[in-house]
Amino acid sequence: MDFDNSQPIYMQIIDEYKKNIIRSELKKGDKIPSQREYAQIVRVNPNTVQRAYREMENMDMVETLRGQGTFISAGEQMREQMAKEMAAKVMQHFIHEMRSLGYEDTMIMAMLKCELEPMEEGEQVDRI
Amino acid sequence: MDFDNSQPIYMQIIDEYKKNIIRSELKKGDKIPSQREYAQIVRVNPNTVQRAYREMENMDMVETLRGQGTFISAGEQMREQMAKEMAAKVMQHFIHEMRSLGYEDTMIMAMLKCELEPMEEGEQVDRI
Amino acid sequence: MDFDNSQPIYMQIIDEYKKNIIRSELKKGDKIPSQREYAQIVRVNPNTVQRAYREMENMDMVETLRGQGTFISAGEQMREQMAKEMAAKVMQHFIHEMRSLGYEDTMIMAMLKCELEPMEEGEQVDRI
Amino acid sequence: MDFDNSQPIYMQIIDEYKKNIIRSELKKGDKIPSQREYAQIVRVNPNTVQRAYREMENMDMVETLRGQGTFISAGEQMREQMAKEMAAKVMQHFIHEMRSLGYEDTMIMAMLKCELEPMEEGEQVDRI
DNA sequence: GTGGTCTAGACCACC
DNA sequence: GTGGTCTAGACCACC
C-alpha cells in the first residue's frame, strides 16, 4: 500500500479496510493482520496502525481480543452503511473536481451519461 | 503542493499547470516560475521540473524564450481540449471507484442525479 | 493530580474532567488548559493528554478548535448522564470491596444506613 | 502489588495484610515472608517494609520470633475488629465520593438498595 | 500560540 | 505471540 498526503495515514488504513469489507473480501469473523505485521507490510510505525485499529474498534468495525488478535465484526448491515458513506465521499469529491474544471451540473450529468451509456438503440453519438 | 504516489511527479506538475490554465488562473502570455524557482518552491529535484517543462513545451502548453523565461502559450482552444481531457480522466477514475464499491452503472447515474438535483418538478426551495 | 495504577492515566484524566463537569465546576463553553499546559501541570507526556482530550472529543464532552483550544461542550443533559455513570461505577466498586471483606448484602445496607442516619428520633444505637 | 499515592506505602502494605487476614487467606500461626523477601517481591525499599512489619507487631497483628521468621498472631476476634475498621474506611470513602458527585444521603441509600435488591416483594426471576 | 500526526522505542498484561 | 500504554521528540497546519 502507498499512502498519499490527502489525509492522515491512519485514516487511509481505515478506508482500506472499509473498502475490503464493502467488496466482501473481508467478512465478519475474519482475522486481520496483527498490528505489528500490518505495520511491517505497509512500512508504517506500529503506533499508527494501532490508532487505526483502535478507531475501527470504536466504531465497531472490528473486535480485538487481547493476546489473540483483531477480527472483523462488521456485519451485512454495517457493510451497506459503509458502502453508502464511501460512495457519498467519492461522489462529492468527483463533483467538486468537475466543478473546479468549470463544468456545470447539467454538463456533469450529461458527460457521465455519455460515458456510461455509450450507445443506446437508435442513438448516434460522436459522429462529427 | 503535495505529491502522491499514483503517478510520476513530473506528470503531477503538468496536471497542476493544466488545472491552472483550465481555471483561467493562468492565461496565454503569463510568465511561470523558472525551473529552479519552481524546484525550490515545491521541494523537488530540478531534473523532475525540467522534464515537466520540456513535455509541456512539446505539447505547446508553454513556450520558453531564452533569457526571458517560460510563458503560457495555450490559448482558448487548447484550454477547452485540456478541460475535456482532465474531465475524462476524473470521470473514469470516479466510475472505477464507484464500481469497485459494488455499484452498477444505473445506480451510479441515479445517485449522482440525486446529489445534483435534490428536488424535482414543481419544487420551490429557498425562494424569497 | 496524582495517578494510581488502577487504570490508564488517560482514563484518569477523563474521569477527573467528568467529576469537574458533574460538580458544575466546569460548564459548557469553558475553556480547559491546552494539551501542553495540562501535561506540564500533571507531569505527564503531552501525547497522553492528547489521547484523553481526543477521546473526550469523541464522546462529545469537549470540542476542540484548532489553533484556539479545547472547550467543554457537555450540557446539562450530558452532565446528568455522566453523574449516573460515575455513581454506578463508584457503587459497584464499593459493593465489590465490601463483599470481599466478607459482608453480605443485607449487612452492607444496614451498615450504610447506620452511617448515614446515625440517630433517628427515638432510636438508640451503640449503647451496648 | 501496586501502590498508589493516596497514602504511605507502609500503610498500604499493612492494609494488604489486613485484607488477607480478613478474607482468612492468612490465619493465626501462618508464616509471612521475611522483610527482605517481601521487599524484593514488591520492589520496595526494605526500610519501608520494616516499618510496616514493626507497626503490625505493635498492634499484635504479627509476632516475630528471632531466627524463625514472622507469623500472623491475629485471632478471630482481631479479625472481626479489623473487618469492621476496613469496612468503615471503605464506607466513608464511598459516601464521600457519592456526595462529591452531588448525591444526597437519601439518594445514596436508594441507589444502593436498588443495586443490591433488584426486585422486591412477590418477584419471581430466573425460576426454573 | 493552538491542536494533529507520526516515528522510535520501552514496558506491561494476557495468551 | 497478541494488543495496550506511555514517553520523547519531531514536524505540520491553523491562528
Question: Tell me: the pLDDT tens digits for B96-125?
Answer: 999 989 899 999 999 999 988 766 555 555
Assigned C-alpha cell, C24:
458544575
- What pLDDT shows up at residue C29? 95
Domain locations in chain B as residue ranges: 9-74, 77-116
Q: Which residues of D touch C105 (CB under 8 A)?
A: 116-117
Mean pLDDT over residues A58-72, rounded? 94
Stretch among A66-70, B100-104, D43-47, D56-60 having the lowest mean pLDDT = D43-47
Assess contact for B59 and A80: CB atoms under 8 A.
no
Assess contact for A44 and A9: CB atoms under 8 A.
yes
Q: Which residues of C touch D95 (CB under 8 A)?
A: 112, 115-116
| Beta strands D69-72 and D31-32, pairing class | antiparallel
Work out whether the CA dihedral A75, A78, A82, A88 comes out positive or negative. positive
Mean pLDDT over residues C30-47, rounded? 96
Q: Which residues of D touch C103 (CB under 8 A)?
A: 83, 87
Q: Model pTM greater than 0.85?
A: no
Q: What percent of chain D has pLDDT over 70?
A: 88
Interchain CB distance below 8 Å, A115 and B97:
no
Q: Give me the helices (H) in chain D, please.
A: 9-22, 35-42, 46-58, 76-100, 105-116
Residue from D97, D28, D99 nearest C97 by CA: D97
Interface of D with C (CB under 8 A): 2-6, 19, 22-23, 83, 86-88, 90-92, 94-95, 97-98, 100-103, 105, 108-109, 111-113, 115-117
Task: Classify residue D2 as exposed, middle or buried by CB count within 10 Å of its CB (0-12, 13-18, 19+).
Answer: exposed
Task: Classify residue A19 as exposed, middle or buried by CB count within 10 Å of its CB (0-12, 13-18, 19+).
Answer: middle
Assess contact for A97 and B83: CB atoms under 8 A.
no
Mean pLDDT over residues A46-69, rounded? 95
C70 CB below 7 A from strand E atoms: yes
- What pLDDT shows up at residue B3? 72
- What pLDDT shows up at residue A120? 58
CA–C1' C82–F6 (A): 27
Residue C122 confidence class, pLDDT cut points 50, 70, 90: low
B20-78 pLDDT, tens digit each: 999 888 999 999 999 988 887 777 888 889 999 999 999 999 999 988 999 999 999 99
Interchain CB distance below 8 Å, D115 and C95:
yes
For residue C14, pLDDT over 60 is answered with yes
Assess contact for A64 and A23: CB atoms under 8 A.
no
CA dihedral D89, D91, D93, D96 (to 10 degrees): -140
Residue from C19, C15, C89, C121 nearest D111 by CA: C89
**The CATH fold of domain A9-74:** Arc Repressor Mutant, subunit A (1.10.10)
Interchain CB distance below 8 Å, D117 and C105:
yes
Residue from C121, C122, C103, C124 nearest C112 by CA: C103
* B70 phi and psi angles, rounded to 5 deg: -115, 135
Going by the DSSP 8-state scheme, the letter that residue B109 receives in this structure is H
Option in D22, D102, D109 nearest C112 (CB): D109
Residue A22 confidence class, pLDDT cut points 50, 70, 90: very high
Nucleotides of F under 7 A from a protein CB: 1-9, 13-15
For residue C2, pLDDT over 50 is answered with yes
Task: Classify residue D14 as exposed, middle or buried by CB count within 10 Å of its CB (0-12, 13-18, 19+).
Answer: buried
Mean pLDDT over residues C9-13, rounded? 96
Chains B and A touch (3+ CB pairs under 8 A): yes
Q: What residues contact D55, with CB distance under 8 A and at least 6 apart?
A: D10, D14
A89-123 pLDDT, tens digit each: 899 889 988 988 889 999 999 999 998 886 656 65
Quick one: residue B69, left, alpha or beta (phi over 0 = left, psi -120 to 50 = alpha)?
left
Interchain CB distance below 8 Å, A95 and B105:
no
Show the CA angle centred on residue B39, arms to residues B37 and B42, nearest 5°.
105
Residue B128 confidence class, pLDDT cut points 50, 70, 90: very low
Residue A23 confidence class, pLDDT cut points 50, 70, 90: very high
